[in-house]
Amino acid sequence: MTHPSPADRIIELRRLIRYHNDRYYVDDAPEIDDAEYDALFRELRDLESAHPESFDPDSPTRKVGGTPSAGFRKVPHAVPMTSLENAFSADDLRDFLSGIRNFILELRDPGAPIALVAEPKIDGLSCSLRYEAGRLVAGTTRGNGAEGEDVTANVRAIADIPHRLKGDGWPAVLDVRGEVYMSDADFLALNERQEAEGAKTFANPRNAAAGSLRQLDPAVTSRRSLHFFAYAWGESSEPFAQTQWEARAKLAGWGFVLNEPAEQLTVSGSDDSGLLRYYDNLRDRRASLGFSIDGIVMKIDRLDWQVRLGFVSRAPRWAIAWKFPPEQAATVISRIVVQIGRTGKATPVAHLVPVNVGGVLVSRATLHNEDEIRRKDIREGDTVVIQRAGDVIPQVAGVVLERRPAGSVPFRFPSECPECGSRLVREPGEAGTYCTGGLVCAAQARERLRHFVSRGALDIEGMGDKNIELFYDKGLVRTPADIFTLELRDGREAPPLATWTGWGEISAHKLFEAIRRASVVPLDRFILALGIRQVGEATARLLARRYLSLVRWRAAMEAAADPASEAHHELLSIEGIGESVADDLVAFFREPHNLALLDRLTLPSGGEPPLLSVGDFQPPAAAGAVAGKTVVFTGTLETMSRSEAKARAEAMGANVAGSVSGKTDYVVVGADAGSKEKKARELGLTVLSEAGWLALIDRGRGRDNDG
C-alpha cells in the first residue's frame, strides 16, 4: 500500500514529538532544542489543519506535556493543568485578538477595548498547590495535564511557598498555580557543585528546577534553592476576583510572590502599541532579570470572559504565550547518521560538536528527510547555524558556506539500511525513505518491541529500552510473543537471568512478575500495543469502544478488507476514523505475519492457554443531557457568537454538525434561520430556540445521564 506523504510525515512528527516530550518532561533531559521542537510542532499543526482527515484525538498537538514518571504517587488534578498556545509574531498576536473578538459577541466592534494582563513567561515547571482552610495540603506537578506527581513534601521545602495563607478572604479550597524555577545564579552554582561531585549537570535552569523538585528525597530539594511564582489557579470553592489583575493582588496578599514586571494593558481598534512595547522591553531586559524567561504571556483580564472563552483541548482561548525569537549559535556537523524507526522510516540526524544555544547544550539536530538535506545542502563537516526558540527543540537554520572545508562532498543518502542492509526506498512523490527489511530489520523490530511494552500499551515495568535491546541482542526476545515465554525459557537458551551482570534473584523475579501482570490487558491498550500506523491511544479507545471484544474487533477488521462490506462501512462510520486510518487498519490485517502474531498472543496452542488475556472494553458511564448528541446551530444567535455556542456545546460532550440530517438530535434556531430549520421540521427533528437550548444544557450540567 502506498501512503500519501503528508500522512506519513504527520505520523512521524507525532512520534517524534511524543518521544521528545518524554525526554523533556519525564527525564528532564531534552535531546533536542526548543526551536527545533517548536518547528516540529508547528509543522505538525499546519499539516494537521491542511489534512483534517488525519485527525487523531491523541495527537500531541491536542495534549500537554509528558507522562507522569514512576516513583511519585499520581494525583488527578481537580481542574486540568493545560498548556498555552504560542504566538511567534505580532501577527499571531493579532490573530489571537481577532479570535477573541469573534468569540465574545460584545467585542465584535473593533473599537471595543479589551483589557489584558501581560506577564513574563517563566521557563520553569508548573505546579499546583492545594490549600484547604488556608493550609497547604498538597503540591502536584503538571504531569500529563490530567494527573501529576505528588511532590507535597518537596514543595514544602520551597521558601516562596506559604504553608499557611496570610490575611483573609481566601476560598476554603484553592489550588494556586504557578511556576517552580531556579534563578540563573543558583543554576550556575548547582552545576559547579554537581561537576565537582562528579554528578550530572543540567542543560538549563528549567531542567535543573525540574530535576531538583522531582527528587524522591525532599532534603535534596531543600538544598537546591528553588523559587515559586504564582500566576493562575485551578479549583476554587468560591470566586475571589473579577479580573486577573485583581486576582494577582489577592494572591500577593495571601503571601505569594508574583512574576514581575507585569502590566495591565488595553487594546482597542488597531492600536496594540502597548503590547508591542511591553514585549520589546522585556525581550531587551531578558538577560538581566536573573531568571529565565522565554517570552511573555497575555491574558484576558476579565474573568467572566475567561470562563466564557474556556479551553480548546490543550490550551485556554483566553491566554497566549508570545515567544521570543530563536537563539542561534554555530557549530560543526561531525556526522550525519540515518536512524530507522518502528515503521521503517529512515530519519537523518546531524551529530554536532556540542554547542550552547541560549543556555541549552545541543548535540543533535534532526534533518527530517533527504529533501531537507538537499534543499539546505547540508554536508558532514559543515559549519551550521543551529537555532532554538520557545520551550524545547533545535534545527539547522542554514550552512555557513564560507567555512565549508575544501574537498567536501554533498551528503549521499544511503541506499541500504544501516541496520539490516536491506534496500532503502522512497516512493515517487513521498518525502520519507523506508527500509524494506520489515521483519528482518533489527532496528524496526526493536522499535516495535519498545512500543509494545511502552507505558500506554502493555506497560511492562522493567522492560525499558535498555532491556529490550539486551534481550533482543541475545536472541531471547525477537517478537512480542517471546516476552511472555521468557520466564519459561529462562536458563535454557542462555544462563538464567538472575546470574547475568547487573541482575539478581530479586530483579529477575520482579521482571517476570511484571510480565505476568501485563499479560492481562484491556482491549484498548492491546490495540495500541500492536503499533498499527496512525493508531494512537485515542483511536485505539474508539475502536475498543465500538467493537468491545478482541474477537469482534478482529473479525470486523478482517471483513473490512472488502471496501463494499458492511464492516468497512461501520469502521468509517466511527467518528474520528477516516479513510486513511481505515486503510492502515485493513493493511495491518492483510499481512499474514500480523495475523500469526495475533494468533500466537491470543489463542490457545498445544493445550496451553493463550499468552495474553485481552479484556473486553468496559464503557464508562455517560454524563450530561446532551453528551453524545448531535446538534446543529442555524440562524443568528442573540446571546453568543456561533463560536461560543459551538464551544459550549462541545464542552458538554455534544457533537456540533454543520448540516441537518436524520442523525441530528437537536436543531437550535436563531433569528433568520433558513433552509436548515425547514429541513429539520420536515424530518421531524427536535427544533429548539436559543433559550430552549440554554435551558437544556443548564439542566444537563453536572448531572448524570438518566436516559
- The residues of the shown chain that bind ligand IVH, judged by CB under 6 A, are 82-84, 119, 121-122, 126, 179, 231-232, 259, 297, 316, 319, 321, 391
Nearer to ligand IVH by C-beta: 122 or 329? 122
Q: In terms of CB distance, is 81 or 601 closer to ligand IVH?
A: 81
Nearest approach in angstroms of CB 139 to ligand IVH is: 14
- Name 196's Cβ contacts closer than 8 Å, sequence gap at least 6: none
What CA–CA distance (Å, rounded) separates 261 from 254? Answer: 19
Q: Is 230 in a helix, a strand, or coil?
A: strand
Tell me how long the chain is.
707
* Peptide linkage before 316 cis (omega within 30 of 0): no
Alpha carbon dihedral 143, 16, 50, 395, in 10-degree steps, equals: 110
Pick the closer one to ligand IVH by CB: 213 or 321.
321
Cα atoms in the Cβ-side hemisphere of radius 13 Å centred on 641:
17
**Closest separation between CB of residue 349 and ligand IVH, Å?**
26
Taking the complex as a whole, the smallest distance from the CB of residue 116 to ligand IVH amounts, in Å, to 12
Task: In angstroms, give the least distance from the CB of 34 to ligand IVH.
Answer: 11
Using the minimum distance from each CB to ligand IVH, give the nearer residue, 7 or 321: 321
What is the Cα–Cα distance from 155 to 98, expressed in whole angstroms? 39
CB-facing half-sphere around the CA of 249: CA atoms within 13 A = 9
- Joined grid coordinates for residue 195: 561537576
Amino acid letter, 267: V
Rounded to a whole number of angstroms, the minimum distance from the CB of residue 11 to ligand IVH is 25
CB of 426 to ligand IVH, least distance (A): 36
Question: How near is the Cβ of 492 to ligand IVH at its closest, in Å?
Answer: 51
414's CB contacts (< 8 A; 6+ apart) are: 338, 346, 424
Cα-based angle 623, 628, 631 (whole degrees, multiple of 5): 125
Give bridge partners of residue 315 from the DSSP assignment.
312
Q: How far is the CB of 408 from ligand IVH (least distance, A)?
A: 40
- The H or E element containing residue 312 is strand 311-312
Kindly tell me which of 232 and 365 has the beta carbon lying closer to ligand IVH: 232
Q: Identify which of 448, 438, 507, 455 has the alpha carbon closest to the alpha carbon of residue 483.
A: 448
Which single residue brings its beta carbon nearest to ligand IVH?
A: 126
Q: Which residues contact 500 (CB under 8 A, 6 or more apart)?
A: none
Query: Pick the catalytic residue: 63, 121, 323, 676?
Result: 121
Task: CB nearer to ligand IVH: give 114 or 321.
Answer: 321
Q: How far is the CB of 293 from ligand IVH (least distance, A)?
A: 8
Alpha carbons 366 and 396: distance in angstroms, whole number: 8
Q: How far apart are CA 414 and CA 340, in angstroms?
A: 12
Between CA 30 and CA 515 the distance in angstroms is 29
DSSP symbol at 405: P
> Cβ closer to ligand IVH: 391 or 690?
391
Query: Dihedrals φ, ψ of 703, to 5°?
Result: -115, 150
The answer to whether residues 544 and 537 touch, using CB atoms and an 8 Å cutoff, is no
Write down the least CB distance from residue 171 to ligand IVH, Å: 18
Report the alpha-carbon angle 586-589-590, nearest 5.
85
Name which of 82 and 207 has its Cβ closer to ligand IVH: 82
To ligand IVH, the closest distance from the beta carbon of 405 in angstroms equals 40
Nearer to ligand IVH, 275 or 468 (CB): 275
Taking the CA atoms of 49, 51, 53 and 54 in sequence, report the sign of the dihedral they define.
negative
Q: Is the peptide bond before 30 cis (omega within 30 degrees of 0)?
A: no
Active site residue 121: yes
Q: What is the DSSP string of 660-697?
A: --TT--EEEE-BT--HHHHHHHHHT-EEEEHHHHHHHH
Round to whole Å and give the CA distance between 544 and 577. 13
Question: Whose Cβ is closer to ligand IVH: residue 209's or residue 441's?
Answer: 209
Minimum CB separation of residue 391 from ligand IVH in Å reads 6
Residue number with CB closer to ligand IVH (82 or 534): 82
CA pair distance 459, 514, nearest whole angstrom:
9
Torsion-angle region of 145 (φ positive above 0: left; ψ -120 to 50: alpha; else: beta): left
Residue 243, by phi and psi: left (phi above 0), alpha (psi -120 to 50) or beta?
A: beta
Q: Give dist(CA 422, CA 441) in Å, integer.
A: 8
How far, in Å, CA of 194 to CA of 161, rounded? 26
Whichever of 126 and 444 has its CB closer to ligand IVH, that residue is 126
Which DSSP string corresponds to 242-253? Answer: SBHHHHHHHHHH
Active site residues: 121
